[in-house]
Amino acid sequence: MLRGSSALALIMLFIFLTGCSSIENVPEEAVEDELPYASISFYISVGNPEKALSEYKQASVKEPESEETRLLYSRLLLLAGRLEEAQAELDKLVAADPQNTDALFNLSLIEGIRGNRGAQKEFLQKIIEIDKEHVQAAAHASLGEISLIEEDYSKAREYFEGALKVDPQNTVALMGLGNISLREEKNEEALKLFDRVLINEHAFSFAYLDRSKARRALGDTPGALADITEAINLDKEYYWNYIDRGRLLIELRRKGDALADFNKAVQIDPDYFIAYVYRAGLNYEADKINAAIKDYEKVIEKKPDYHFAYSPLGELYFVTDNWSRSAEMFEKAYEYDTLEYSYILLKALALKQGTMDKEARKYLEGMIKQLPGESWYYTIARYLAGAASEFAAVNAANKEKDKIIKGQMLFYIGSQFLCEGKTVAGLKYLIEARDIKGQGSIERKIAHWLLLEDNQQDE
């Protein structure tokens, strides 16, 4: 999934390979033209390089061995993703003329696509040494893009500024500098740079997307939303447009609209995890338990090391009576955050709720040494393990001055009462735990769900 500076590589590839040709008000079908490459330009602009290759084969009959014809052919192969064939053609051009900067630049693009940054840099440095201005700007911009990827922002700025000295309208350099300015929180500067891009590239979706970030940082929320929406209008299949607009809509409390954007992102790329994360969060907050479970499960299926999903899954499985899965999720959550001691207590409680008392007691006996002595965690752990009396636990909770901690303690006491069949007393403590204001603890959320009439398990 391309994001951020990675997208600049695609920008550079398309801008350089398509050259400066403008395709405005083009009819649905390419019109015959005296110039042999008019239809080729059309098919490149509409994203059909294979069709462009077909047109090339017909057009190249006039000058099959000219440098221009062979260079065009290599560019078309590159756009079509046929890298080996493109490289073979370009190697021939460079062998015939080692100072062919156009061919050297295309070779640098191939190495960039392959992830061979060292080889890519070598080609770009050769271009700068040859000093042909029309390609030198692109070379500087590409080196800036590589420096961005390597997080060497001062070097990236130097290269991008070098590109603009040669070509003040270089799109990649302006976009790169704009992104550096955003990173450095120079948002006014970033805004001006993206404005410059849009003067010449008024239909360039990435410029609208990045300008929206500058506007958002400057407090212009309506302008930011308008820019992201324009980016979507220009590129309706770009995954990150919907993620960014969805996040902004959440800030604006338009959660229904945000959900629609995350749904669209999932539709575009069902194998990437980020949209599931945000959609799961919205469902979690809206008490849509089953829907949240499905999305969080998708998250850990697609990205198992996204550990932030394990705690909510533990909570969600707890209230749907899937005790073993709940215990498993809390155990995984604790593996990633060993300072969140609630995970130890919650795993033990899940085991107890699932009538696995022996397993719960054994687990607590093994883990209790990891809890801070004299802490409320330690007190509750001893109570759940049967090493402390009910009176001691209730008394400690009643004496607790911190309301949030008191609510957490009452949750465990109430849950233990429910395990023991003391339903009235158990529900009383859960209600008290839920109703303590100002706390956003895991325990309070579980209490809230347990006390819902039907758990809202519909989707």
Write out pLDDT tens, residues 198-225: 998 899 999 999 999 999 999 999 999 9
pLDDT, greater one: 69 or 255 = 255
**Side-chain-side CA neighbours of residue 440 (13 Å):** 1
Assess whether pLDDT exceeds 50 at residue 323: yes
Predicted local confidence at residue 376, as pLDDT = 96
Q: Are 213 and 182 in contact (CB under 8 A)?
A: yes
**Mean pLDDT value of segment 244-264:** 96
Name the pLDDT band for 96 (thresholds 50, 70, 90): confident
For the whole model, what pTM was predicted? 0.75
Name the pLDDT band for 115 (thresholds 50, 70, 90): confident
Assess whether pLDDT exceeds 60 at residue 9: no
Name the pLDDT band for 48 (thresholds 50, 70, 90): very low
pLDDT, greater one: 115 or 132 = 115
**Mean pLDDT value of segment 24-40:** 35
pLDDT digits (tens, 9 = 90+) for 143-159: 888 888 778 889 889 98
Q: List Cβ neighbours of 13 (8 Å cut-off, separation of 6 or more).
A: 78, 79, 109, 113
Mean residue pLDDT of the chain comes to 83
CA 426, 427, 432: angle at the middle one, nearest 5? 105
Assess whether pLDDT exceeds 60 at residue 167: yes
Q: Where are the alpha helices (DSSP H) in 167-220?
A: 171-183, 187-200, 205-217
Predicted local confidence at residue 122, as pLDDT = 80
**Mean pLDDT value of segment 325-329:** 97
Assess whether pLDDT exceeds 60 at residue 12: no
CATH of 1-169, one of 3.90.1150.10, 3.40.50.300, 3.40.50.1100, 1.25.40.10: 1.25.40.10
What separation in angstroms does the CA of 349 have from each of 219, 248, 319, 385, 400? 45, 38, 12, 10, 21
Q: What is the CATH number of domain 306-450?
A: 1.25.40
Mean pLDDT: which of 23-37, 136-150, 319-333 is highest?
319-333
Q: Give ranges for CATH 1.25.40.10 in the chain.
A: 1-169
Name the pLDDT band for 39 (thresholds 50, 70, 90): very low
Q: Are 409 and 396 in contact (CB under 8 A)?
A: yes
What separation in angstroms does the CA of 267 have from each of 237, 243, 354? 9, 12, 37
Q: Are 329 and 311 in contact (CB under 8 A)?
A: yes
Q: Could you count the other beta carbons within 10 Å of the beta carbon of residue 432?
A: 17
Predicted local confidence at residue 81, as pLDDT = 77
pLDDT, greater one: 96 or 60 = 96
